[in-house]
Amino acid sequence: MNSVTVRVPAKVNLQLAVGPLRDDGYHDLVNVFHAVSIFDEVTATAETGMSVRVEGESADQVPEDDDNLAIQAALALARHAGRSYGVNLIIRKSIPVAGGMAGGSADAAAALVACNELWGLGLPMDDLLEIAADLGSDVPFALLGGTAVGTGRGERLTPLEVAGTFHWVFALADGGLSTATVYAECDRMREAMGEKVAWPRAGESLLAALRAGDAKALGAELTNDLQPAAVMLRRSLARTLDAGREQGALGSLVSGSGPTCAFLAESEAHAGELAASLKSAGVARDLIIAHGPVPGPTVV
Ligand SMILES: C[C@](O)(CO)[C@H](O)COP(=O)(O)OP(=O)(O)OC[C@H]1O[C@@H](n2ccc(N)nc2=O)[C@H](O)[C@@H]1O
Ligand SMILES: Nc1ncnc2c1ncn2[C@@H]1O[C@H](COP(=O)(O)OP(=O)(O)OP(=O)(O)O)[C@@H](O)[C@H]1O
């Protein structure tokens, strides 16, 4: 086999509970991940060296050297296998860059799956998950897909049972936000308010809403502890979130570290109406309709 193409979804966080800052610079989380139908595609082709090319949505903002998370994934996999494999990766991006939807992590997960296949390694999921955790906190979930709760840095995963499909509208913003900067702003705001940071816990009502496939109940339970920090760093997000609520979204929140905002709709038709109203309100660079949960990386 000379070439393998893998399609990989974006994520939104349905609950992001951020615990105290740890000594290693990370935060313990309860992170309810949900994979949605916005996809990047990664094609891996056998080659002697390691190279990457990026095409599509905001490709110019993605590095085409060893800083690219997909190349780092291929290098980590070759190291794990103990061989000096080569690969050319072509990444076709649709997931917004630095948008809080884990696009880089998705590409890394896709590269792990594609190279595992291309190089005939046959490594099991558990090995790939271990390599993924070293690449970034979101990468293990990007390998898994579906809906799952992540603890620790977000890398320790338990898949969740979900009934049916949820319909979403995503409002894209101009420019990205740095994940590390948003966490640091969250710490700063908490300290300024003298807030005692609680140990993060999964929302029982949120898990029940997922099990029941109850969009209305889910909408009321969406929470993101990074949202105040993201809004502080990008004030315009307050207006975007307000517009979603005014236009009848069941729930509105910043996706992960932002600046993409996520709005839950009642149905596919309602998502279409909501996207049209938000477009007219002029509160986003672009709007994308998607559904979840969807499976993780898939060879196409
Ligand atoms: C905001 C989320 O996307 C929600 O899923 C993730 O928590 C971020 O995951 P990620 O982008 O894979 O993040 P990493 O590459 O592991 O870490 C980037 C930076 O984010 C901060 N970080 C990340 C994860 C975590 N549990 N605590 C943190 O404080 C740290 O400053 C870290 O240096
Ligand atoms: N394959 C990649 N795709 C996108 N960005 C990448 C990639 N490799 C490295 N990067 C760098 O990582 C930064 C963050 O990109 P990414 O799109 O993953 O952010 P994000 O969606 O906010 O992440 P998260 O939701 O995991 O916090 C970008 O600014 C870019 O420079």
Q: What pLDDT shows up at residue 40?
A: 98
Q: What pLDDT shows up at residue 198?
A: 92
As a whole number, mean pLDDT of residues 221-231 equals 98
Which ligand 2 atom sits nearest the alpha carbon of residue 52? 1
Instruction: Tell me the pLDDT tens digit for each residue of 91-115.
Output: 999 999 999 999 999 999 999 999 9
DSSP structure class, residue 259: S
Complex-level ipTM: 0.97
- Give residue 219 CA to ligand 2 midpoint distance, Å: 27
Q: From the CA of 30, which ligand is nearest?
A: 1
The residue ranges of every structural domain in the chain are 3-160, 166-292
Q: State yes or no: pLDDT of 14 exceeds 80.
A: yes
For residue 3, list its beta bridge partners: 45
Q: State yes or no: pLDDT of 202 exceeds 90.
A: yes
The H or E element that residue 54 is part of is strand 50-56
Share of the chain above pLDDT 90, in %: 98
The dihedral region occupied by 34, where left means phi > 0, alpha psi between -120 and 50, and beta the remainder, is: beta
Scored b (16 or more CB within 10 A) or e, 116-131 reads bbbbebebeeebbbeb
Q: What pLDDT shows up at residue 57?
A: 81
Q: From the CA of 141, which ligand is nearest?
A: 1
> Mean pLDDT score of the chain, rounded to an integer?
97
Nearest to 293 by CA among 149, 177, 155, 151: 149
How far is residue 115's CA from residue 46's CA, in Å, rounded to a whole number? Answer: 9
179 lines ligand 1 (CB under 6 A): yes
Contact 272, 168 (CB under 8 A): no
Architecture (CATH level 2) of domain 3-160: 2-Layer Sandwich (3.30)
Q: What pLDDT shows up at residue 195?
A: 82
- Does 189 carry a binding-site annotation? no
The pTM of the full predicted model, rounded to 2 decimals, is 0.98
- Which amino acid residue places its CA nearest to atom 6 of ligand 2? 104
The H or E element that residue 120 is part of is none
Residue that the structure tokens 């309810």 belong to: 32
Residue 51 — pLDDT band, cuts 50, 70, 90?
Answer: very high
Q: What pLDDT shows up at residue 245?
A: 95
Q: What does the angle CA 270 – CA 271 – CA 274 come to, to the nearest 5 degrees?
A: 85
Q: State yes or no: pLDDT of 8 exceeds 80.
A: yes
From 62, 182, 254, mutation site for ligand 2 pocket: most ligand atoms within 8 A of C-beta: 62
- Rg, Å, the chain Cα set: 19
Q: What pLDDT shows up at residue 241?
A: 98
Q: What pLDDT shows up at residue 265?
A: 98
Active-site residue numbers?
Answer: 11, 138
Q: State yes or no: pLDDT of 1 exceeds 80.
A: no
For residue 288, list its beta bridge partners: 170
Do 3-160 and 166-292 fold alike per CATH?
Answer: no
Nearest to 256 by CA among 34, 42, 55: 34
How far is residue 101's CA from residue 294's CA, in Å, rounded to a whole number? Answer: 14
Q: What pLDDT shows up at residue 103?
A: 98
Share of the chain above pLDDT 70, in %: 100
The strand ranges marked E within 177-246 are: 223-224
As a whole number, mean pLDDT of residues 175-191 equals 97
Fold for domain 166-292?
Alpha-Beta Plaits (3.30.70)
As a whole number, mean pLDDT of residues 124-143 equals 98
Contact 31, 147 (CB under 8 A): no
